[in-house]
């Protein structure tokens, strides 16, 4: 009995290749689907990375990552590709992926090229082929860099990503970077506002309030104020574009930024919830800062109390978030101590319930697949395609597997959740926590918590805790 081979079809094409050679997604897809049908393969899915060059890093190929996820879930027996260069042009990347495939007994083949990796000569040929492909890719990259340098020398744009106030205009060989009439005033206001206030934050806030349709962040404003393109220079090429300001004026602005900018120096203070709190509005991790409160008596300061706070930098720095609440670290810590164990217990119960449902669903699916296998065995035996001995062995083995799945196995969630259950049962956990220094308190929270969010409906008195 021939095993039904489940295949994943992987396609990759860059926009340049599609335009020059017609290696379109559709043409590759049609070719590979036909190939799969000719070989009686069962197609699981088609994974198509469009607009991705051979040099694109693995983690930026979303469809390739989805394919590997299905490989790890044992949904695929084989991957089929059009040609080797659709798969990889980098020896190191190839072996990184091949290691994953080997662990899950997944092989691959090309519809239009013949490779045999089962022999030493076949593997040698594959290495040579990949090395040649990588060399071709490197040479292409060098040519592109040379062309870009030549375009810049001829004052032609090499990218559509430009600072505020500029745009690309013209046709084909006559394209140039010119001022953008719709945003030129915003660029002018940016320089004038900074020179007026000498404040990056005030400039950012002004731009976001005046031009709400074009939100901009603090760091981007800082970079744009120092961008040489605004005085007409790009990559040391003079008169690359029409300037907004003179070089002398921009040099003075850069000096003011460096003079007023105070780099953050490590204070040595440990924020217990650093990196754990997320803004309820924009989702950004809230930054820690030190604050102080003075106690006075008859006009005389008697005590200065210092404490930690957390705030959303998208609001207080970039002015792009509505969350203006400042979180007091001491209040949050007290709330966490009072509610941590109860929240953790709720988390454990929810996981166990979900695992039980998932296990039952998986068992039902497996039993269904095994019953389908029994039907196929019957058909194969009746057609005379397998012997009676083969039929009896496979039939008995399949029936035993169905019997095993019908027995409710004990869930392994107790093992997975053991560290949570241990701390829930520990009556002394609060006393132990209170004796820790700030560094180890932070490590304690990092051990169990993924992140914390303010409850939008009850900002001051309740928190949403998400466990790992």
More confident residue, 366 or 411: 366
How far apart are the C-alpha atoms of 283 and 280, rounded to whole Å?
6
Structural domain range at position 108: 6-140
Q: Is the pLDDT of residue 1 over 60?
A: no
SS3 content of the chain, % helix, strand, coil (to 5): 50, 15, 30
Q: Is residue 347 part of a domain?
A: yes
Q: Is the pLDDT of residue 20 over 60?
A: no
- Predicted local distance difference test score (pLDDT) of residue 294: 77
Statement to judge: residues 133 and 213 lie in one domain? no
Do residues 111 and 89 lie in contact, with contact meaning Cβ atoms separated by under 8 Å?
no
Q: Is residue 268 part of a domain?
A: no
State the average pLDDT over residues 141-149.
67
Statement to judge: residues 12 and 82 lie in one domain? yes
Q: What is the CATH number of the domain that holds 68?
A: 3.40.50.1390
How far apart are the C-alpha atoms of 311 and 278, rounded to whole Å?
9
- Predicted local distance difference test score (pLDDT) of residue 12: 86
Q: Is the pLDDT of residue 350 over 70?
A: yes
How far apart are the C-alpha atoms of 227 and 61, rounded to whole Å?
31
pLDDT tens digits, one per residue of 381-424: 666 777 777 777 887 888 878 777 665 444 444 445 777 888 88
pLDDT tens digits, one per residue of 162-203: 889 999 888 777 888 899 999 999 999 999 999 998 888 889
Rg (CA), the chain: 31
Statement to judge: residues 86 and 20 lie in one domain? yes
How far apart are the C-alpha atoms of 26 and 46, rounded to whole Å?
11
How far apart are the C-alpha atoms of 54 and 458, rounded to whole Å?
50
Statement to judge: residues 364 and 436 lie in one domain? yes
Statement to judge: residues 36 and 129 lie in one domain? yes
- Predicted local distance difference test score (pLDDT) of residue 285: 85
Q: Is residue 360 part of a domain?
A: yes
Q: Is the pLDDT of residue 147 over 80?
A: no
How far apart are the C-alpha atoms of 336 and 344, rounded to whole Å?
11
Q: Is residue 150 part of a domain?
A: no
pLDDT tens digits, one per residue of 222-235: 999 999 999 999 88
Statement to judge: residues 133 and 234 lie in one domain? no
How many residues can be counted in the chain?
468
How far apart are the C-alpha atoms of 338 and 321, rounded to whole Å?
30
**What is the band of 262 on the pLDDT scale with cuts at 50, 70, 90?**
low
Q: Is the pLDDT of residue 30 over 60?
A: yes
- Vertex 405 angle, CA 401 and 408, to 5°: 150
Instruction: Please tell me the total count of domains within the chain.
Output: 4
Statement to judge: residues 355 and 293 lie in one domain? no
HSE, CB side, 13 Å, CA atoms: give it for residue 170.
Answer: 14
Q: Is the pLDDT of residue 337 over 60?
A: yes
Environment class of residue 451 by beta-carbon count within 10 Å: exposed (0-12), middle (13-18) or buried (19+)? middle
* Residue whose tokens read 């609001």: 315
Q: Is the pLDDT of residue 283 over 90?
A: no
Statement to judge: residues 211 and 250 lie in one domain? yes
Do residues 240 and 416 lie in contact, with contact meaning Cβ atoms separated by under 8 Å?
no
Specify the 3-state DSSP secondary structure of 86. helix
Strand 287-297 to 78-81 pairing: unpaired
Statement to judge: residues 319 and 418 lie in one domain? no
Q: Is residue 122 part of a domain?
A: yes
For the entire predicted model, the pTM comes to 0.43
State the average pLDDT over residues 9-20.
68
**Residues whose CB falls within 8 Å of the CB of residue 122, separated by 6 or more in sequence, listed in order:** 115, 116
Q: Is the pLDDT of residue 340 over 50?
A: yes
169 strand-pairing partners: 176
How far apart are the C-alpha atoms of 126 and 467, rounded to whole Å?
46
State the average pLDDT over residues 2-18.
75
Q: Is 14 a catalytic residue?
A: yes
More confident residue, 364 or 208: 208
Statement to judge: residues 120 and 209 lie in one domain? no
pLDDT tens digits, one per residue of 57-114: 666 788 888 999 899 888 999 999 887 776 765 667 777 888 888 888 888 888 877 7
Do residues 190 and 225 lie in contact, with contact meaning Cβ atoms separated by under 8 Å?
yes
- Predicted local distance difference test score (pLDDT) of residue 86: 65
| Average pLDDT over the chain, rounded to an integer | 80
Q: Is residue 50 part of a domain?
A: yes
In the numeric block, which tokens belong to residue 122? 């076949």
Residue of 25, 30, 31 lying closest to 11 (CA atoms): 25
How far apart are the C-alpha atoms of 317 and 309, rounded to whole Å?
15
Least confident of 145-159, 250-264, 314-328: 145-159
Statement to judge: residues 253 and 310 lie in one domain? no
Statement to judge: residues 51 and 13 lie in one domain? yes
pLDDT tens digits, one per residue of 286-303: 888 888 777 777 777 777
Strand 300-311 to 327-328 pairing: antiparallel
Q: What is the CATH number of the domain that holds 238?
A: 3.90.1750.20
- Predicted local distance difference test score (pLDDT) of residue 185: 94
HSE, CB side, 13 Å, CA atoms: give it for residue 257.
Answer: 21
Q: Is the pLDDT of residue 321 over 70?
A: yes
Share of the chain above pLDDT 90, in %: 17
Do residues 271 and 442 lie in contact, with contact meaning Cβ atoms separated by under 8 Å?
yes
Q: Is residue 270 part of a domain?
A: no
Give the active site residue among 14, 137, 289, 413. 14
Q: Is residue 1 part of a domain?
A: no
């Amino acid at each position: 009995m021939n095993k039904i081979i489940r295949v994943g079809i992987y396609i990759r094409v860059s926009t340049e290749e599609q335009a020059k050679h017609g290696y379109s997604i559709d043409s590759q897809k049609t070719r590979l689907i036909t190939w799969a049908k000719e070989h009686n393969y069962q197609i699981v899915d088609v994974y198509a990375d469009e607009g991705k060059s051979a040099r694109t890093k693995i983690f930026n190929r979303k469809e390739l990552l989805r394919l590997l996820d299905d490989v790890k879930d044992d949904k695929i027996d084989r991957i089929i590709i059009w040609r080797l260069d659709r798969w990889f042009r980098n020896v190191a990347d190839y072996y990184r992926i091949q290691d994953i495939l080997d662990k899950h007994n997944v092989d691959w083949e090309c519809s239009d090229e013949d490779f045999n990796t089962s022999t030493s000569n076949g593997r040698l040929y594959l290495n040579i082929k990949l090395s040649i492909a990588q060399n071709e890719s490197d040479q292409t990259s060098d040519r592109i860099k040379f062309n870009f340098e030549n375009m810049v020398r001829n004052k032609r744009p090499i990218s559509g990503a430009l600072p505020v106030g500029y745009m690309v205009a013209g046709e084909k060989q006559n394209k140039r970077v010119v001022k953008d009439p719709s945003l030129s005033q915003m660029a002018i206001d940016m320089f004038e506002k900074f020179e007026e206030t000498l404040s990056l934050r005030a400039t950012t806030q002004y731009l976001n309030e005046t031009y709400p349709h074009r939100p901009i962040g603090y760091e981007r404003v800082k970079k744009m104020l120092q961008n040489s393109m605004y005085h007409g220079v790009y990559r040391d090429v003079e008169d690359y574009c029409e300037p907004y300001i003179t070089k002398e004026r921009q040099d003075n602005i850069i000096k003011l930024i460096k003079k007023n900018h105070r780099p953050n120096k490590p204070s040595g203070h440990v924020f217990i919830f650093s990196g754990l709190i997320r803004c309820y509005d924009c989702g950004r991790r809230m930054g820690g800062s030190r604050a102080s409160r003075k106690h006075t008596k008859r006009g005389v300061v008697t005590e200065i109390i210092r404490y930690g706070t957390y705030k959303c930098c998208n609001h207080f720095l970039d002015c792009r978030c509505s969350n203006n609440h400042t979180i007091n670290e001491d209040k949050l810590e007290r709330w966490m101590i009072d509610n941590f164990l109860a929240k953790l217990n709720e988390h454990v119960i929810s996981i166990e319930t979900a695992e039980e449902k998932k296990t039952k669903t998986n068992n039902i699916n497996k039993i269904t697949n095994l019953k389908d296998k029994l039907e196929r065995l019957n058909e194969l035996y009746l057609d005379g395609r397998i012997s009676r001995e083969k039929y009896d062995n496979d039939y008995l083995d399949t029936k035993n597997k169905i019997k095993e799945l019908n027995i409710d196995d004990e869930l392994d969630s107790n093992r997975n959740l053991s560290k949570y259950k241990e701390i829930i049962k520990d009556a002394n956990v609060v006393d132990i926590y209170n004796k820790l220094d700030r560094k180890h308190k932070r490590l304690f929270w990092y051990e169990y918590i993924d992140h914390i969010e303010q409850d939008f409906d009850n900002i001051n008195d309740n928190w949403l805790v998400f466990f790992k």
